[in-house]
Chains A and B, each alone.
Chain A
Amino acid sequence: MSFLELRDITKRYGTLNAVSDVTLSVEKGEFVSLLGPSGCGKTTTLQMIAGFVEATSGSIRLDGRDITHAKANTRGLGIVFQSYALFPHMTVFDNVSFGLEMQRVPKAERKDRVDEALGLVHLSPYAGRYPRELSGGQRQRVALARALVIRPPVLLLDEPLSNLDAKLREAMQFELRDIQRKVGTTTVMVTHDQAEAFSISDRVVVMEAGRITQIDQPYRIYEHPETEFISRFVGKTNLLPGTVQAINGPAASVSLAGIPVEINAGGLVSGETVTLCVRPEKLRLIAAGQGRLPGRVAERYFLGSQWLYHIDGPLGTLMAVTPNDGSAPLETGVPVGVDWNPSVVRVHRGRLAEAPDPTLEAH
């Protein structure tokens, strides 16, 4: 039995299902992220765990205890809110001490624990300040210290880094993970930022339209997205529609706009329509006339550590990413060959509807 268990959790607002049949088990000490675009139900799920929203059906168990209908103030969870929700009229010390005061912890112990929590987030010199006298990153850390000081069984983070600027966000990601490792608190984080979810979570739960579509380790989700939605939402991807021409044992030959490509057969049948997904960094740009597809550099973008190329070819425009190894990049208009290793191709069965690229939203 897992430490935190959601079973068939559903939240209905009128006729709208904000969350449908969410089942999730979180092990003790684990860091799990709920990832999805806005409106996918991830925040509602978190609020049901926190007790601010009551589940329409299903059950939530924490350490064997059914908390589905328990009041928020009896659950004892540590929550970091998106807006931080610090008490503006209390000092940093009083903010952090508030939860302990509610637990009627004796004053002397309270002081020790608050000092310890502030030390953990490197804010000891700021104990006497008021929240409005702090920067965004410092407020964020006060919120974290305030949630951790009560030694909660589960720490809930609601988009904890979304109000920080890019540089600070990255630094805080690692600090957050570092602190979580140190304290060992079971953590559930909600985020719409896949980089954030991937870099610090043990497991990522991808949600779409109120449902869980995949639960897996970050690396597995990136490399083996189970649905076309995930492959679009998580990172960039090239989607190539084709038709299975022939099955030759373990390999299948797929025709992409008349160009034959070999992939792993994996249960496909001849004549089936499929979509091949290839990540931009898995494409290799080689000399013209070689490789699997011909192409021409249409655009190039310098991303610092990488080059992003748009390659025009018989299948439309493909994205390719190459590391910036210090050598001169390809010029626009240059013909190239596009190649890839057959093992990096993910196959989705069926034709994909042309949907607007959700990765744009995620960046």
Chain B
Amino acid sequence: MSAAAPRFPTPLILSAPAALLFAALILTPLVLTALLSFNEFEHATGRTHGFTLDHYLAVLTDSYYLEIFLRTFRVAALATAICVVIGVPEAYILSRMGNPWRSVFLLVVLAPLLVSVVVRAFGWSMLLGPEGPINAALVALGFGRMRLLYSEGTVIVALVHVMLPFMVIPVWTSLQKLDPAVEQAALSFGASRGTAILRVVAPQILPGILSGSLIVFGLSASAFAIPGLLGGRRLKMVATIVYDQYLSDLNWPMGAAVAVLLLAANLIVMLTYHRVVEGHYRRRLG
């Protein structure tokens, strides 16, 4: 019997389907997009195959693009912050509910995920439109009509609505792992409920808040449907610019360059955030 029997590479084989899917559906388009972004572009002839960095230079030096990038990250950051403010207490309250109600409200929290983002965006635009119920109520109360659509505020509100479940779920999960006696211990040592939550519960669910805000920020910064439908033609965000470059200007390389820059910027922001927050709790929670 040979001592060195050939080892069957089970782990590789088991992970192969997922790896193939990932390579085919994510890596390939990403590489193609990156390659595309270096192609030259002529308005008369369209895409040519030369190599150029012009598109990147154009985006990075043009204040028009810079403004859109800034707006995108401002909107995403605000949406994330609001999701933390609403989602964390929501998850905490959910975790404290007794059983029939907990299931009911968990379903309510997750229900928006069951409706298409486009449908929800149209819902918001009907609600906030010039003839919508909100404006009707404002008029009836004597405030006059207000332009609610196509503003940053509206986009943020709609994004929060879409993203909230992505905040609630990870926070809820980390709350589930908490030993309820730890909060009782804080109370028994004379802490008020608020102090107990702030000093004892919150630091322990920080990993959940961290992953929730990374998901929400990433999805918000690259969101397309909500800013596209509620921001309109005027309030552009990066994802809608990419769409415009590809389909209106037909400048695919420029669209690709913007898309690659969005990905890079998103990665930098998220990794930095992760570093800072995780560095804070790593030693303590292991």
Contact = CB atoms under 8 A, between A and B. Distances in A.
Interface of A: 50-52, 71-79, 81-83, 85-90, 98-99, 102-103, 130, 132, 146, 150
Contacts of B284: 88-90, 130
B242 to A, nearest CB: 42
B131 interface: no
26 contacts: A50-B184, A73-B189, A73-B192, A73-B193, A75-B188, A81-B185, A83-B179, A83-B181, A85-B179, A85-B182, A85-B184, A86-B182, A87-B185, A88-B182, A88-B284, A89-B284, A98-B191, A98-B199, A102-B189, A102-B190, A103-B190, A130-B283, A130-B284, A132-B286, A150-B189, A150-B190
B191 A102 contact: yes
Nearest to B193: A73
Contact of B189 (A52, A89, A146): A146
B191 A85 contact: no
A266 to B, nearest CB: 47
Given A87-B182, A89-B204, A102-B195, A79 B281 contact: no
Contact of A72 (B188, B283, B285): B188
B174 to A, nearest CB: 12
Contacts, number: 73
Contacts of B184: 50, 52, 72, 79, 81, 85
Given A102-B190, A102-B191, A102-B195, 14 more contacts: A71-B187, A73-B187, A73-B191, A73-B196, A74-B190, A79-B185, A83-B179, A85-B181, A85-B182, A86-B185, A88-B284, A98-B186, A98-B191, A150-B190
What are the nearest 9 A-B pairs in CB distance?
A99-B189, A85-B181, A102-B190, A85-B185, A89-B203, A81-B181, A89-B284, A73-B187, A79-B188
A318 B195 CA distance: 59
Chain B interface size band reads 20 to 34
Contacts of A99: 189-190
Interface of B: 179, 181-182, 184-193, 195-196, 199-200, 203-204, 281, 283-286
B182 to A, nearest CB: 5
Contacts of A102: 189-191, 195
B243 to A, nearest CB: 44
Given A88-B284, A88-B285, A89-B203, A73 B181 contact: no
B203 A98 contact: no
A73 B65 CA distance: 56
A132 to B, nearest CB: 5
A312 B45 CA distance: 106
Contacts of B199: 98
Contacts of A150: 189-190
Nearest to B281: A89
Contacts of B189: 73, 98-99, 102, 146, 150
